[in-house]
Copies of this chain bind each other. A is one copy, B any other.
Amino acid sequence: MTVMEQRGAYRPTPPPAWQPRTDPAPLLPDALPHRVLGTAAADRADPDLLRRLYAELVRGRRYNAQATALTKQGRLAVYPSSTGQEACEVAAALVLEERDWLFPSYRDTLSAVARGLDPVQALTLLRGDWHTGYDPNEHRVAPLCTPLATQLPHAVGLAHAARLKGDDVVALALVGDGGTSEGDFHEALNFAAVWRAPVVFLVQNNGFAISVPLAKQTAAPSLAHKAVGYGMPGRLVDGNDAAAVHEVLGEAIAHARAGGGPTLVEAVTYRMEAHTNADDDKRYRADAEVEAWRAHDPIALLERELTERGLLDEDGIRAVREDAEAMAADLRERMNQDPVLDPMDLFAHVYARPTTQLQEQEAQLRAELDAEIRHHEDEPDHRDEPDHRDGPDHRDGPEVNAR
């Protein structure tokens, strides 16, 4: 039986041959988001997993803080922080097998890092020395995707291809609440369901698309309620409860792996910082709202669970923090080094082989750069400057790096 033949065999039939439609109930999410921490379900959770999640959350928070600091120092062009959303970012990375694929959006560098990517490579896009700073095939992390929701059909296609090949690979695609309004979201979920592709969609509903609150984005009971319209299950989860996100994603992935097809997971969370460093969130939300969410901090939630259950003590917390600091120090140090750039790279990867036209343009730029070097050599002060090493451009005005 081919992959394609596994689809339900709908045939247009007139009444009385009409079948009652598939029962939609199992596809609908619960009324309230699923929670584990602080509930009886936490007892069933694997302590090692909880500790790993905790360590990664702390690292993640530190990573976000460090990246934001680097932005202030002009070392990054822009940084869209995931502070407050670390539970989603981290659980998404940890729940996958090595052979699986992650499709992050532009806000998800943390998830890519938690999956094992070099943090400096993950930040290349935002530093501005190249677009994608890593080989997607190495850790099976697709490029951080800026055109919203466009990565979702990619995840579907990859998962479908893997299934066609008979490989046991699941794709997990991340998208924001705002991104669900795009046509590509719709088309991706529909293809996934029709093809029963092994893909899981995680919507991080952080309440805003830049300044636009969810109420202007959708009138649906929840974003997870969109799932039934594609014929896949929709799940709602507390996005600040790392154990719950991990559990719900884990079930969805297992379902996909078993040939059950895609799942849509909505994680309810909150963006604690501005959209990016260039954004001014005072314009569109009240401090009180942000403060209210502080009481539901993903790290605090997990820390409380672990300490109350005696799975973590002061020493353990200190060790985790020290590890995070070491990561941050390393990141800081490496990001403080200027990247070495070769302007000729502009022409290297447009096509497999540059066209004659591009070769001409390459020669033109090379001649210009040679002339620049000669010019520098004439001025003794500059003789020691590295060639073609450019710093980030000068910027002014609000939001020039808004993404």
A172 to chain B, nearest CB (A): 20
| Contact indicator per residue, chain A 57-99, by CB within 8 Å of chain B (1) or not (0) | 0000000000000000000000000000000000000000000
Name the interface size band of chain A: 35 or more
Task: Determine whether A163 belongs to the interface, using a CB cutoff of 8 Å to chain B.
Answer: no
Q: Which of A11-19, A105-113, A344-352, A392-400 contacts B (4 or more CB under 8 A)?
A: A11-19
Known interface pairs A22-B221, A229-B225; A215-B14 also in contact (CB < 8 Å): no
Task: Determine whether A401 belongs to the interface, using a CB cutoff of 8 Å to chain B.
Answer: no
Complex: A11 Cα to B268 Cα, angstroms: 12
Interface residues of A in 322-374 (CB under 8 A from B): none
Complex: A254 Cα to B249 Cα, angstroms: 42
Beta-carbon contact of A231 and B218 below 8 Å: yes
Known interface pairs A12-B213, A226-B229, A229-B227; A218-B190 also in contact (CB < 8 Å): yes
Interface residues of A in 183-205 (CB under 8 A from B): 183-187, 190, 193-194, 196
CB closest residue in chain B, given A231 = B219
Complex: A208 Cα to B11 Cα, angstroms: 10
Task: Determine whether A230 belongs to the interface, using a CB cutoff of 8 Å to chain B.
Answer: yes
Given B22, B220, B225, B240, which contacts A14 in the complex, CB threshold below 8 Å?
Answer: B240
CB closest residue in chain B, given A297 = B14
Task: Determine whether A146 belongs to the interface, using a CB cutoff of 8 Å to chain B.
Answer: no
Task: Determine whether A258 belongs to the interface, using a CB cutoff of 8 Å to chain B.
Answer: no
Copies in the complex: 2
Beta-carbon contact of B8 and A33 below 8 Å: no
Beta-carbon contact of B8 and A32 below 8 Å: no
Given B7, B182, B268, which contacts A215 in the complex, CB threshold below 8 Å?
Answer: B7
Task: Determine whether A295 belongs to the interface, using a CB cutoff of 8 Å to chain B.
Answer: yes
Chain B residues contacting A13 (CB-CB under 8 Å) are 289, 292
Beta-carbon contact of B216 and A7 below 8 Å: yes
Q: Which of A23-31, A47-55, A114-122, A123-131 contacts B (4 or more CB under 8 A)?
A: A23-31
A384 to chain B, nearest CB (A): 53
Beta-carbon contact of A229 and B231 below 8 Å: no
Task: Determine whether A20 belongs to the interface, using a CB cutoff of 8 Å to chain B.
Answer: yes
Residue from A8, A183, A238 whose CB has the most chain B CB atoms within 10 Å: A183
Chain B residues contacting A227 (CB-CB under 8 Å) are 229
Beta-carbon contact of A10 and B220 below 8 Å: no
Interface of A is mostly: loop
Complex: A231 Cα to B41 Cα, angstroms: 31
Task: Determine whether A101 belongs to the interface, using a CB cutoff of 8 Å to chain B.
Answer: no
Task: Determine whether A145 belongs to the interface, using a CB cutoff of 8 Å to chain B.
Answer: no
Chain B residues contacting A236 (CB-CB under 8 Å) are 21
A131 to chain B, nearest CB (A): 25
Chain B residues contacting A28 (CB-CB under 8 Å) are 24
CB closest residue in chain B, given A9 = B215
Beta-carbon contact of A229 and B229 below 8 Å: yes
Interchain residue pairs with CB less than 8 A apart (18)? A12-B213, A13-B289, A14-B292, A14-B296, A15-B33, A21-B29, A24-B28, A27-B221, A181-B186, A183-B184, A183-B186, A194-B215, A194-B216, A194-B217, A194-B218, A219-B231, A226-B229, A228-B228
3 smallest CB-CB distances across A and B, nearest first, come from: A183-B183, A12-B207, A219-B231
